[in-house]
A = this chain, B = another copy of it.
Amino acid sequence: MNYILKDENAVYYECGFSCDNELFIRLPDTAYFITDPRYTVEAKEQVKGAEVVEARDLFKAARSIFKKERIKKLFYDPKEFSCADLRALERSGIYLQPKRDLSWRKRIVKSEKEIELIRRSVELNAQAFSEFALFLRSAAGMSEAELVYEAKGFLSRRGKYELSFEPIFALNENAAKPHAYPTEKKLKKGDLILFDAGIKYERYCSDRTRTAYFDEQIDFVKEQRFADPKIRRAYDTVKKAQEAAIEGARSGMQAKQIDAIAREIIEKSEFAGSFVHSLGHGVGLDIHEMPFINTKNSQIIEDGMVFTIEPGIYIPGEFGIRIEDMVVMRNGRAEVL
């Protein structure tokens, strides 16, 4: 299959290098990596299995390659290319056939090597959660914004690792916003902390969320002792939903069946209606990729797929709770990474 890619992670998967301005063309016997002069020094050092082409206008260079290689038809992902990009490719006169999620589909089942990299990413991330918890024990009085900064120091090991996304550190009612931005709100004893963060290890992402009760003993373990009875009930419901989904997930199920396991527990509780997002998402080179574990996806789950299981309960103006782990499907079941 001849295809063209533009997305950084899609391209990295093909040739072991990417930058923020590139096109990658895969042909039966050859491949091309097209980039501008800012990146050619590194590209020539690091791209594997593709010829590096330097160009100021990447699309013009791509059209030249189409002509030289007498390409008639090329697949592309319509989500990856803008309308303007497509027009620039179509000027070549070749037939561009859309194939949605072209790269994600190739990447949905992870190789053993990828699983090992993801496992290491998850381990390093979990260690950072523990180290950050120790720091938090004496961090009362610091703001959410300051604590996000401190968290990033632990997560990245002071710059050694990239983060897979901007961490979320949200207190009490701010945690009710599933993607909260940090505020000047100060940490104090008795607060609920929602912490959602991940790193990249050799470009492979990790993603974890813990919700914890704040005092001098804070730890991001799953056993928590919230003082407020409503928070306690909500926490136990989320925990039960998460455990049930991990326990119940099977290769051969549809993604939506896994979502349903967790959702049913929350919907049957007093917190019905408060689980406002999907149960999980695949994780790999992208922090969000296939398979998507939501109420509608009939994708069949297979061994080797890696995804999050992250139910939540959000009570606007009061609190939010989410517990998230990553799993890999192995021998038909979900193994927590």
Contacts and interface: CB of A to CB of B under 8 A. Distances in A.
Interface residue range, chain A: 35 or more
A276 B55 CA distance: 11
Interface in A222-247: none
B145 A149 contact: no
A19 B179 contact: yes
A38 B158 contact: no
Interface stretch (A81-89, A108-116, A132-140, A249-257): A81-89
Please report whether the interface of chain A is mostly helix, strand, loop or mixed according to DSSP. loop
A98 interface: yes
Given A80-B82, A83-B82, A41 B158 contact: no
Interface string A176-188: 1111111000000
Interface string A276-289: 11000000000000
A83 B89 CA distance: 12
Contacts of A148: 159
- Please state the number of chain copies in the assembly: 2
A159 B145 contact: yes
Interface in A100-133: 100
Interface string A148-165: 111011001011100000
A39 interface: yes
Contacts of A180: 42
Interface in A7-54: 19-20, 37-39, 41-42
Contacts of A84: 78-79, 98, 100
Interface in A267-314: 276-277
B37 A276 contact: yes
Contacts of A98: 83-84
Given A38-B177, A181-B42, A81 B82 contact: yes
Given A78-B82, A149-B156, A150-B159, 19 more contacts: A37-B178, A38-B179, A38-B276, A39-B177, A41-B176, A41-B177, A42-B177, A42-B180, A42-B181, A78-B83, A78-B84, A78-B87, A79-B83, A82-B82, A84-B98, A145-B159, A145-B160, A146-B158, A148-B159
